[in-house]
């Protein structure tokens, strides 16, 4: 995350959760990052959950295009763009933006930014193609009772009283 801040344009943080470094916790070191919430203060749901519930809506199409636009333009290094590592920030009517919250940074030994621009673009295009494939797969599974895989459901919405929910 430090590398991203240092070497990439500020605009990428429109689609990446900001990182604020480590803090000590009673469970060891914890990495603090910007928590993405909707305008009603609920924690934003993952893209996986959103597609499972609503499919690829017009508002989502636009939001995906603007995420991928920045990804391609700024050549952001990331692992595979997994649907449970992207959250959908919403207001009452529409999607505000998609935010990548996990799976960022370089995958190979050589940081992406040192490779020729055409290689970087090729890698990013492949990630994008895989991303669309994952969306198609999830769409084909829609209609089932449970969200496939164990990723994607929030344990808490960030607003309700936790003690009530546990009881
Ligand atoms: N910054 C964030 N804003 C909103 N939700 C988040 C954020 N970070 C994590 N989450 C939620 O927590 C889940 C797990 O977080 P993640 O960082 O992907 O950990 P892991 O991959 O180890 O399970 C995400 O899928 C998402 O639902
Ligand atoms: Mg994750």
CA 108/CA 119 separation, integer angstroms: 13
Q: What average pLDDT does the structure give for the chain?
A: 93
Supply the pLDDT for residue 90: 98
pLDDT at 26 over 60: yes
Task: Select from 98, 101, 154, 158 the residue to mutate for testing ligand 1; criterion: most ligand atoms less than 8 Å from CB.
Answer: 101
Q: Is the CB of 17 under 6 A from ligand 1?
A: yes
Output the pLDDT for position 88: 98
Query: Taking the model in full, what pTM does it have?
Result: 0.92
Neighbours of 110 (CB within 10 A): 9
- Per-residue model confidence (pLDDT) at position 165: 54
Ligand nearest to the CA of 87: 1
Task: Provide the percentage of residues in the chain whose pLDDT is more than 90.
Answer: 79
For residue 33 and ligand 1, the question of a CB distance below 6 A is answered with yes
d(CA 39, CA 89): 8
Q: What CA–CA distance (Å, rounded) separates 52 from 129?
A: 20
Please report, for the chain, the start and end positions of each structural domain, with discontinuous segments joined by +: 2-142
Ligand 2 mean position, distance from CA 22 (Å): 18
- Spatial CA neighbour of 129 closest among 57, 72, 87, 60: 72
Give mean pLDDT, residues 20-45: 96
Averaged pLDDT for residues 134-161: 88
CA of 85 to the centre of ligand 2 (A): 5
Q: Tell me what the mean pLDDT of segment 81-94 comes to.
A: 97
Predicted pLDDT of residue 42: 97
Q: Is residue 74 predicted with pLDDT exceeding 80? A: yes
Ligand 1, atom 20: closest residue by C-alpha: 102
Q: Is 90's C-beta closer than 6 angstroms to any atom of ligand 1?
A: no
Alpha carbons 116 and 119: distance in angstroms, whole number: 5
Cβ(87) – ligand 1 distance below 6 Å: yes
């Amino acid at each position: 995350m430090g590398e991203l801040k240092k070497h990439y344009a500020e605009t990428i943080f429109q689609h990446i959760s900001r990182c604020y470094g480590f803090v000590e916790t009673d469970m060891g070191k914890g990495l603090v990052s910007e928590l993405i919430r909707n305008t009603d203060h609920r924690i934003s749901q993952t893209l996986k959950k959103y597609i499972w519930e609503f499919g690829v809506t017009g508002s989502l199409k636009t939001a995906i295009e603007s995420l991928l636009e920045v990804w391609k333009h700024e050549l952001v290094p990331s692992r595979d763009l997994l649907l449970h590592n992207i959250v959908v920030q919403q207001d009452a009517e529409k999607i505000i933006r998609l935010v990548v919250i996990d799976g960022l940074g370089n995958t190979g030994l050589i940081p992406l930014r040192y490779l020729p621009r055409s290689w970087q673009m090729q890698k990013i295009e492949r990630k994008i193609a895989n991303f669309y494939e994952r969306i198609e797969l999830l769409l084909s599974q829609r209609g089932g009772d449970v969200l496939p895989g164990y990723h994607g459901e929030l344990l808490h919405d960030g607003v309700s009283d936790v003690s009530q929910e546990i009881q």
